[in-house]
Structure 1
């Protein structure tokens, strides 16, 4: 159930291994292709590799190669005391999900997969659980999610932590400091929110995404009820001019890619229990953001979805012909949670709060120490790496001292 990054990747992966797969989507490929943008997806190297492994990287040659992650911190006077660029070991890419999901959906049917265009209900799942060996729910919104109980011990927030506003645009100029480098730009405005700018491939070719994350009730939380795409973009640019003028300076000639190129909303980050119980006694397994939905501040949504689909595919293949019982479902989720879900959740929740002093020191040091900038940037690909130097002041201090000493010249005898 669900034709997003995880549902389609898993369906195509199972199909390639000889499984009979039925995929349920509430929209056709053409409806997805011509609809509104769905996300701000930027996928890093290890997530992209899962697509390559299944030979689903259809747009890799066309999409911009994102070689770095830049961080800028705004001061109250709208200058940027911190501004640096970390280099990625392997490039990242963003492909508009309207392009990717429509293309993958067409591929699934061309390869003989059974596609049902229908918004599934819990009653449908009750029937399917008696008909199919395994039912996976990869639709992260709507009635189906209610089957999966919120895990309070893993979900510290019960309300949205950011108000989100997205615009896909043509005509954005390069950052003059690194005009030759395609990069994701993270602009942090303390007490206000964040602006992310990233290259992407959309339905009309190369474009850029302007993505505001505002603290609820704050000066960026002004997009609710704005339904006109032109008004949405004008508001986005007005806020850029006020809070991130260095980004606004390259956006003065932008225009929306299409009438569906804007998106606004909010949701509470949540971790849910992975097994859904149906009224008839059947069980279903939740996938990706059905069970682990983090705020997009760390850009992990599509990355986690790809990693979840790859992990579940491996678990299904290893299980063979045995029944997919509750114990298997829990073990399958746990494998994903401890390798990917938990590190991503810990890092994302840390980034949503006011940064402690040692994190501010770390981000500042990255402007002086290129290895620190590079390691932070590559954490977007492997969030588990933050555990060794990001969360505890002592670990951060030890790491910065180690990098500083390695870069210091050895005194002559």
Structure 2
């Protein structure tokens, strides 16, 4: 039985630990918090997971909350523009695309704590200890493979930044999350729950998404603000109540259609808010210990994208699934650095399209992208295809990045729907108010 150490009890670390455990490996998992501390702690993310990532959990029979969590069956996009009267905003674009397979969000406090309990119940060694590089240097002699799935602090510093794959050197958004009860329904598409993406050009984005949290069904209000802009206002927030007040003030100013259903919301609990910012970074996957040993980075240790496209938990699940397959396929051969690099590159084939798309969405959109988003308001197949790209970002390569491909796709979609004359391209406008 091969002995493996995993450091970090998030989506990728726990999924991989439970997967290896189910395959008969001798797995030790290190976490800096207990399951109870995780369950009662601060919210950690927004974690909307799409069909492919959910399938990886189903494959391991870890989808314990699937029948309780809201089913997100669509993805809506609104674009805010200045209203005709000074000081207000209205929707210049508003549409919703249907997902081929539903998405779900389960508060990571619920999921990670539950998975930690299951790992221990199944006989796994769960060590509660904040690991330092010196700890790994000592422990690595006892294990055939050490995987680092803790993406912050000293351990992450072992993995150098891959400059060729990391176009940004500073945070591109300030992040502010609030979990709330009491959000009213959207009048548009009331037949299904949808994740809502509200784009405020030049300022940032608001995401609204149903979730399952420690107190049942809830919604997440998530602002991403361009640093220094009018949405970047959470740095000096002193308490959760003030955080919610500022969240609602921004809704009222920039997305009044969302504010109209948020007038009675309240925080789900005292730890229901989160503020932060970080630089999107791809790191080299092999870290070196002082003694010369090698460790392999997992999940957001090696690929940390801004959450603007909701890819974080999805890539973490995909990474864990890819690594699990590579470890099992290795049999009894050594986990040397060549294998580690090859294992990451195999995952990078999945992560690269998501990273390319996410980095593109952090920049001001070029005209052809605005055209594409606008066309989705009149062409349902375009809306559906963009929505399903959140599950399979590789599809964006065929119609999103290149203006000629995008224009041809919109033209063909319009002709198929009988909406456009041959050669015509939509201008991407249309007032939804």
Give how far 1:76 is off.
Answer: 1.6
Q: 1:10 aligns to what?
A: 16
1:258-297 to 2 correspondence within 5 Å?
258-297=269-308
Q: 1:231 aligns to what?
A: 242
In 2: Cα distance, 1:341 partner to 1:67 partner? 24
Give how far 1:410 is off.
Answer: 12
Q: 1:29 aligns to what?
A: 35
- Alpha-carbon displacement from aligned partner over 1:29-64 (angstroms, at most 9, x marks no partner): 000000000000100000000000000000000000
Match 1:221 to one of 218, 232, 236: 232
The secondary structure found in structure 1 opposite 2:105 is coil
Gaps of 5+ in 2: 1-6, 84-88, 422-433
In 2: Cα distance, 1:408 partner to 1:312 partner? 46
Match 2:384 to one of 371, 374, 380: 374
Contact 2:411 2:420 in 1 (8 A): no
Tell me if 1:333 matches 2:339. no
The secondary structure found in structure 1 opposite 2:48 is coil
The secondary structure found in structure 1 opposite 2:351 is helix
The secondary structure found in structure 2 opposite 1:38 is coil
- Alpha-carbon displacement from aligned partner over 1:123-168 (angstroms, at most 9, x marks no partner): 1111122110000000011110000000011111110000000000
List structure 1 runs of 4+ shifted beyond 3 angstroms: none
Gaps of 5+ in 1: none
In 1: Cα distance, 2:210 partner to 2:352 partner? 28
Aligned CA distance change for structure 1 residues 409 and 85 (closer, same or farther; 3 Å) = closer
In 2: Cα distance, 1:38 partner to 1:75 partner? 31
TM norm structure 1: 0.98
RMSD: 1.1
1:308-323 to 2 correspondence within 5 Å?
308-323=319-334
Give how far 1:180 is off.
Answer: 2.4
- Alpha-carbon displacement from aligned partner over 1:94-125 (angstroms, at most 9, x marks no partner): 00000000000000000000000000000111
Tell me if 1:196 matches 2:213. no
Count the aligned residue pairs.
Answer: 410
Greater Cα shift, 251-260 or 121-130? 121-130
In 1: Cα distance, 2:226 partner to 2:419 partner? 44
In 1: Cα distance, 2:173 partner to 2:336 partner? 37
In 1: Cα distance, 2:93 partner to 2:185 partner? 19
TM norm structure 2: 0.94
Give how far 1:409 is off.
Answer: 8.2
